[in-house]
Amino acid sequence: MRHLARRTATGLCSIGMLLIATGCAPRIYSFPAPEFERARLFQAPDVLPPILGVRVEYRVNGRPVPEEAAASRDFIANLLGRNQLTQIVPPAAVSAVTPILKLSIDHTFDEGKARSAGFQSGMTFGAADRDIRDDFSVRISLSDPRKNRRRDVLYDTGQNGVYRHAVVTRIGGSTAGLLPSDYPGAYQRMLESVVAGFLKDLHLAGQESNPIIFVPDTREDP
């Protein structure tokens, strides 16, 4: 996220100067895609182990991006600790018996549009009043070596518990009801919603004798 934020800031400055030079400077802002649920961690159930390690993998169009993985890991760990949902174990202190929350984040966007607009990050721009999407597919798992494996939560979706979300970037247009921000801020709100949704599902699954988290496949038909 830090890496994308740096590249995004440079791109925004360049496009902003171009728009000003041409006498037209519509506002550029981002927000989590409104068709997905907005969930907050301070409202999430208390279902995590008392201590927890966090691991994150991050890929952009299939390519691993370690900088984004580290930034997302730090954000999630800070958010969980700040909301007093668990005590975060630093990566260097994680042991074989430490419970682990693992996220595998796949970020996809149209690389052709990005190149044509002069951007290398997920942020792509077109004409004013146009929405551009960065799609995210997040696989989340919670493993606790101290638990009986039969009580581990199962994931039954054909996609292994995948949560989908998106960040929308808009040039111009209305901001009504969208909580607009910069791209990193919108990404963080999106990621919080995904993690909070997982904790809600984890709570519901834990009430079942054979706990299963069912996450429907929300992709559109090809």
Answer with the residue of higher pLDDT: 75 or 25.
75
- The residue type found at 117 is A
More confident call, 211 vs 53: 53
115-124 residue pLDDT tens: 544 444 444 4
pLDDT: which is higher, 42 or 16? 42
Q: Where does the pLDDT of residue 167 fall: very low under 50, low under 70, confident under 90, or very high at 90 and above?
A: very high
Name the residue among 7, 108, 105, 104 with its Cα closest to residue 61.
108
Which of 19-23, 96-100, 144-148, 183-187 bottoms out in mean pLDDT, i.e. has the lowest? Answer: 19-23
Residues 6+ apart with CB under 8 A from 70: 56
Query: How far are the Cα atoms of 39, 118, 144, 187 from residue 181, in angstroms, in the given order?
Result: 17, 22, 36, 10
Lowest mean pLDDT among 15-24, 28-37, 203-212: 15-24
Q: Work out the percent of the chain whose per-residue pLDDT is above 70.
A: 65
What per-residue confidence (pLDDT) applies to 190?
95
The pLDDT, as a whole number, for residue 2 is: 39
Which residue has better confidence, 15 or 60?
60
Q: Output the six-digit token pair for 34.
A: 């409104």
Which of the two residues, 110 and 221, has the higher pLDDT score?
110
- In the numeric block, which tokens belong to residue 202? 């984890």
Phi-psi map region of 22: left, alpha, beta (phi>0 left; psi -120 to 50 alpha): alpha
Pairing of strands 87-88, 100-108: unpaired
C-beta of residue 132 within 8 angstroms of C-beta of residue 8 = no
Report the range of poorest mean pLDDT among 51-55, 86-90, 152-156: 152-156
Q: Are 192 and 136 in contact (CB under 8 A)?
A: no
**pTM reported for the whole predicted model:** 0.74
Region for residue 172 given its phi and psi (left: phi exceeds 0; alpha: psi -120 to 50; beta: otherwise): left
Terminal-residue alpha carbon distance, the chain? 30
DSSP state of 181: B
